Amino acid sequence: MAVITGVEVIDVRFPTSRTADGSDAMNVDADYSAAYVELRTDAADATGAPLGGYGLTFTIGRGTDLVVEAARQQAQRLVGRDIDDLAADMGALYRDLSGDSQMRWLGPEKGVVHLSLAAVLNATWDLVARRAGKPLWRLLADYTPEQLVDVADLRYLSDALTREEAIEILRAQQPGKAERIAHLERDGYPVYTTSAGWLGYDDAKLRRLCQEAVDAGYGHVKLKVGANLDDDVRRLTVARDVIGPDRRLMIDANQVWDVPQAIAWTRALARFDPLWIEEPTSPDDVLGHAAVRRAVAPVGVATGEHCHNRVMFKQLFQAEAIDFCQLDTGRLASINEILAVLLLAQKFDVPVCPHAGGVGLCEMVQHVSVLDYVAVSGSLADRVTEYVDHLHEHFTDPCVVADTGAGTGYVLPHRPGYSTQMHPESVARFRFPDGAFWVDDGAISAQSPARPAVA
Amino acid sequence: MAVITGVEVIDVRFPTSRTADGSDAMNVDADYSAAYVELRTDAADATGAPLGGYGLTFTIGRGTDLVVEAARQQAQRLVGRDIDDLAADMGALYRDLSGDSQMRWLGPEKGVVHLSLAAVLNATWDLVARRAGKPLWRLLADYTPEQLVDVADLRYLSDALTREEAIEILRAQQPGKAERIAHLERDGYPVYTTSAGWLGYDDAKLRRLCQEAVDAGYGHVKLKVGANLDDDVRRLTVARDVIGPDRRLMIDANQVWDVPQAIAWTRALARFDPLWIEEPTSPDDVLGHAAVRRAVAPVGVATGEHCHNRVMFKQLFQAEAIDFCQLDTGRLASINEILAVLLLAQKFDVPVCPHAGGVGLCEMVQHVSVLDYVAVSGSLADRVTEYVDHLHEHFTDPCVVADTGAGTGYVLPHRPGYSTQMHPESVARFRFPDGAFWVDDGAISAQSPARPAVA
């Protein structure tokens, strides 16, 4: 018997706003942060080291403390639970943690309490995979179709996807699993880079980073747009000039437009042949995305990093609102809800290209994309997963992106878990507000809850 | 000059779960609670008493502390601000408070940080109305169309409602304002009662409360449904038996059904001639509500208490998904966002019947419904606002519902503000966890963040 003996949830913030990393038209000063959950147990892993579970959700500064406190309250319910009992029925655990009706009122299934649930469940899935001695993608790929559907949250989806249909989708991909895994072992999972195109970078830095992306073998590059149309035209001209006509270019507006403006602006940039316009408007606007998509074709529409739950994705699919599904591993409630979205996407034939970047998202999405290919969709067509080259040095099992000869891709992760354990030194240094970085820096006020009032 | 000198945000919880008040198919043990905001100033009101602002959002127990902390952080930005400057441009204040991109990431515009924003802005609107010496509905009814549109948040709405259209809607109602106010002074604003129909009440209590509603002059009664179909048939039989065939009966499922189940269950209850089925499925499911509406007509579809922002309401209207708009004064970001929804509803010709009950919601919705009639829709057709006879004794200016001869209605409020100040004694007694009630009761553990784990 192995039991969860304790939980700690930590507010970790990195000062990324100082270099304009992560800057876009909506988020001008993001300090990449995490509500980081550590589960402790009385067990050891195969190497004899203490067995733990490590998970997070991604935030961008102020308010991370709110998510931390919510996760602390939710995770308390894990203390004293038998790990193997949990592992045997992760669907029951999901329903237990998400079913607290008093906490549910604060969403439901959205906002702070859903982000925190993601962090807690991500840590639990990490623990369960470590206990099994497998990387999470492998643990899940080894499940039967019925076992996978048992952990998926299909509530509110039956008008679009029944349990029986979900099982059929998974059964159809049972043949060929081993071949697909071998393919990924050889070629990796296709990625694109956003590292070049943050809005706060000047043209010289943009040009240099685009060239570096080309040199590194990337076939796709993404740029932020939406603050100023003339600037966008100039920056896209630079990018196209460097990457040439054949590599794919994506643009991302981070929700700054109303629907009519999104249509006009995207049309004005269409001559740069973007593969997709990402987050053209409010992430809640299913019908708005559908209207944009109808108006800007053949430019595709992509969204999902702020799509707060499976019910919203269901509608994006039903309304034929998107060409690419960019689910987020810190915003959806972990594997349980992600599985539901992967299944819906397969039913509606929309490729899943997960959102990543931030802190730890790349570490997680590699597992999700691999699972999608191996067990759910069986396809790499039109799939390309985001990669941003920031902050991986803080993780004990960082994702690896390499040019495999078949293009640049995520190298298949092999170590047990969900790849989301941070180095204890990183956590100690960047925990907010008492980590050494923030104390030494003396810059707490810039991050403190009370922004200076506008004069 | 009058300045906001301080802010206090308090976690107030009432032990309503002990009597099954507020029980429904989703929320079985609601402890009606509030994140309660007090703004202090260096000014006095017309009576010479200290001028303050008091506002809240409604929650149901655990997690109220999260909303309190979020509101505390947001409200800090008010300290030091000149009240008259704020009052002159409440649209700017709204954009300032809602525009913190780091906090926005945690929604956006939904969940804990949006509930807390509602509480902070509700307190500010209360303060501004008190400063003007007017009840809030009157302050707003006295605004010009341009002034009202300036405070409304129309972002992301321009595909459905332009600024010019909004001004036209308001201009059309300028004539007749005085007559409509006089009408309400005489007859009150029409209400219905939910006090009879909580799911946890037995049949004898249900029968008695329905009879009391009839005796009190109510023309509408609402019952909770959705836990068990046989029980629902039995309870609706009791209710119809008491209220007769002519009074209106509404039913409320509180989100427990998937779409196909909502259709089947509502059809099974259609013989009781419900005016509407409320919250038949996930509040996020715009297209699901539209499907239910098409399938269960002539039973109407109502939703809104969990509709988290104006973008969701826009889509409910665009998709012709609802017959009644039940916006919530604690979930939308106060008057600024409520005005946008009132304008949209008028554009799409959907009656607004606000959600109330809980703590303080009735106190607020009377102002909103009066404003809707006087300045936005100019109509009482198909309008009826919720009233629940709980917890009003804790407010200094409680709403009053009376049989005016023309039916039972909210009596027009006349005292300055938004009617949301609680008695200091109530706050002191029920503040959580250190108020006298909770300390004396020794029952903190039942409400504490850590629910006992399922064995």
State both tokens at B333.
């970001």
Which of A4, A105, A154, A263 to probe by mutation at the B interface, max B CB count within 10 Å? A105
A and B: number of Cβ contacts within 8 A: 215
Q: Percentage of chain A surpassing pLDDT 90?
A: 89
CA B217 – CA B349 distance, rounded (Å): 28
pLDDT of residue B25: 79
Look at residue B442 and tell me whether its pLDDT is greater than 70. no
What average pLDDT score do residues A125-139 get? Answer: 98
Phi, psi dihedral angles at A124 (to 5 degrees): -70, -40
DSSP states of B317-358 as a string?
A: HHTT--SEE---TTTS-HHHHHHHHHHHHHHHT--B-----T
Per-residue H/E/C for chain A? CCEEEEEEEEEEECCHHHHCCCCCCCCCCCCCEEEEEEEEEEEECCCCCEEEEEEEEEECCCCHHHHHHHHHHHHHHHCCCEHHHHHHCHHHHHHHHHCCHHHHCCCCCCCHHHHHHHHHHHHHHHHHHHHHCCEHHHHHHCCCHHHHHHHCCCCCCCCCCCHHHHHHHHHHCCCCHHHHHHHHHHHCEEEEEEEEECCCCCHHHHHHHHHHHHHCCCCEEEEECCCCHHHHHHHHHHHHHHHCCCCEEEEECCCCCCHHHHHHHHHHHHHHCEEEEECCCCCCCHHHHHHHHHHHCCCEEEECCCCCCHHHHHHHHHCCCCCEECCCCCCCCHHHHHHHHHHHHHHHCCCECCCCCCCCHHHHHHHHHHHHHHHHCCCCCCCCEEECCCCHHHECCCCCEEECCCCEEECCCCCCECCCCECHHHHHHHECCCCHHHHHHCCHHHHCCCCCCCC
Nearest to A427 by CA among A388, A448, A396: A396
pLDDT band at A25 (very low <50, low <70, confident <90, very high): confident
Using CB atoms, pick whichever of B26, B114, B314 lies closest to residue A111.
B114
Tell me whether B288 touches chain A (CB under 8 Å): yes
CA-CA distance, A68 to A76, in Å (whole number)? 12
> Å from B214 to nearest chain A CA?
31
Q: What is the pLDDT of residues A359-393, one digit of tens each?
A: 999 999 999 999 999 999 999 999 999 999 999 99
Greatest Cα-to-Cα distance within chain B, rounded to the nearest angstrom: 65
* Lowest-pLDDT range of A106-110, A215-219, B356-360, B373-377: A215-219
Superfamily holding A4-142+423-444 = Enolase-like, N-terminal domain (3.30.390.10)
Exposed, middle or buried: residue A379 (CB in 10 Å: 0-12, 13-18, 19+)?
Answer: middle
Per-residue pLDDT averaged across B292-306, rounded? 98
Residue A109 has pLDDT above 50, yes or no: yes
Average pLDDT, chain B: 94
Residue A412 banded pLDDT, cuts 50, 70, 90: very high
Q: Does B446 touch chain A (CB under 8 A)?
A: no
* Nearest beta carbon to residue B108 from set A61, A76, A283: A283
Counting residues of chain B whose pLDDT is more than 90, the rounded percentage is 89
Among residues A332, A444, A401, A375, the alpha carbon closest in space to that of A94 is found at A332
User: How far is the C-alpha of B248 from the C-alpha of B302, rounded, in Å?
Assistant: 14
Report the CATH fold assignment for B4-134+423-446: Enolase-like; domain 1 (3.30.390)
**Interacting residues of A164 by C-beta distance below 8 A, sequence separation 6+:** none
Contacts of B344 in chain A (CB under 8 A): none
* Residue A443 burial by Cβ neighbours in a 10 Å radius (0-12, 13-18, 19+): middle
pLDDT score, position B194:
84
* Model confidence pLDDT, tens digit, residues A419-430: 999 999 999 999
Residues with Cβ within 8 Å of residue B199, at least 6 apart in sequence: B20, B23, B24, B25, B28, B224, B225, B227
Residue B322 has pLDDT above 70, yes or no: yes
The pLDDT of residue A443 is 57
Taking only residues 394 to 413 of chain B, the set having a beta carbon closer than 8 angstroms to any beta carbon of chain A reads: none
pLDDT digits (tens, 9 = 90+) for A172-221: 999 999 999 999 999 999 999 887 777 888 999 999 999 999 998 899 99
State the average pLDDT for chain A.
94
Q: Predicted confidence band at B29 (pLDDT cuts at 50, 70, 90)?
A: confident
pTM: 0.96
Average pLDDT over residues B245-262: 97
Confidence tier at B21 by pLDDT (50, 70, 90): confident
- Tell me the chain B residues in contact with residue A283 when contact means C-beta distances shorter than 8 Å: 108
Predicted local confidence at residue A450, as pLDDT: 40
Per DSSP bridges, beta strands A33-44 and A50-59 are: antiparallel
pLDDT at residue B449 is higher than 90 = no
Work out the number of other CB atoms within 10 angstroms of the CB of residue A92.
14
Rounded CA separation A266/A283 (Å): 17
pLDDT the model gives residue B454: 36
Which whole number is the average pLDDT over B339-366?
A: 98
Q: What is the mean predicted confidence (pLDDT) over B242-268?
A: 97
Structure tokens at B178: 């005085």
Encode burial over A353-373: b for 16+ CB neighbours within 10 A, e otherwise: bbbbbbbbbbbbbbbbbbbbb
Split at pLDDT 50, 70, 90, the class of B20 is confident
> What are the pLDDT digits (tens) for B378-396?
999 999 999 999 999 999 9
Ordered by start, the domain boundaries in chain A are 4-142+423-444, 177-410
Contact at 8 Å (CB) between A316 and A322?
yes
Give the pLDDT score at B197. Answer: 74
- The residue of chain A nearest to residue B455, with distances taken between CA atoms, is A81
**Cβ neighbours, 10 Å, residue B141:** 22
Sort out which chain A residues have CB atoms less than 8 A from B312's CB and list them: 284
Look at residue B19 in the predicted model and tell me its pLDDT: 80
Tell me which chain B residue has its CA closest to the CA of residue A285.
Answer: B311
| Least confidently predicted of A347-356, B80-89, B210-219, B422-431 | B210-219
Per cent of chain A over pLDDT 70 is: 97
Residue B438, beta-bridge partner list:
none
Q: What is the pLDDT of residues A236-268, one digit of tens each?
A: 999 999 999 999 999 999 999 999 999 999 999
- Which pLDDT score, from 0 to 100, does residue A200 have? 81
| pLDDT over 70 (residue A15) | yes
Cβ contacts of residue B327 below 8 Å, gap of 6+? B304, B307, B313, B338, B341, B342, B352, B354, B355, B368
Buried b (16+ CB within 10 A) or exposed e, B321-346: bbbbbbbbbbbbbbbbbbbbbbbbbb
pLDDT-derived band at A453, boundaries 50, 70, 90? very low
| Residue-level pLDDT at A361 | 98
Order of all β-strands in the sheet with A33-44? A4-13, A33-44, A50-59
The answer to whether the CB of A116 falls within 8 A of the CB of A103 is no
Which run of H or of E encompasses B51? strand B50-59
Residue A417 is which amino acid? Answer: G
Q: Are A292 and A267 in contact (CB under 8 A)?
A: no
Give tens-digit pLDDT for B152-180. 999 999 999 999 999 999 999 999 999 99
Asked if the model's pLDDT at residue A445 lies above 50, the reply is no
Residues 27-66 of A with CB under 8 A from B: 27-31, 59-63, 65-66
pLDDT above 60 (res B315): yes
* Pick from A12-21, B10-19, B286-295: least confident: A12-21
Contacts of B319 in chain A (CB under 8 A): 287
Query: Chain B partners of A159 at a C-beta cutoff of 8 Å?
Result: 258-260, 288, 291
Q: What is the structure's pLDDT at B444?
A: 53
Interface confidence (ipTM) of the complex: 0.96
The topology under which CATH files domain A177-410 is TIM Barrel (3.20.20)
**Cα-flanking dihedrals φ and ψ of residue A64, to 5°?**
-60, -35
Query: Worst-scoring range by mean pLDDT, A63-67, A179-183, B415-419, B439-443?
Result: B439-443
- Does residue B339 contact residue B313 with C-beta atoms inside 8 Å? no
Cα angle A177, A178, A180 (rounded to 5 degrees) comes to: 65
What per-residue confidence (pLDDT) applies to A442? 65
Residue type present at position A205: K
CA B267 – CA B297 distance, rounded (Å): 9
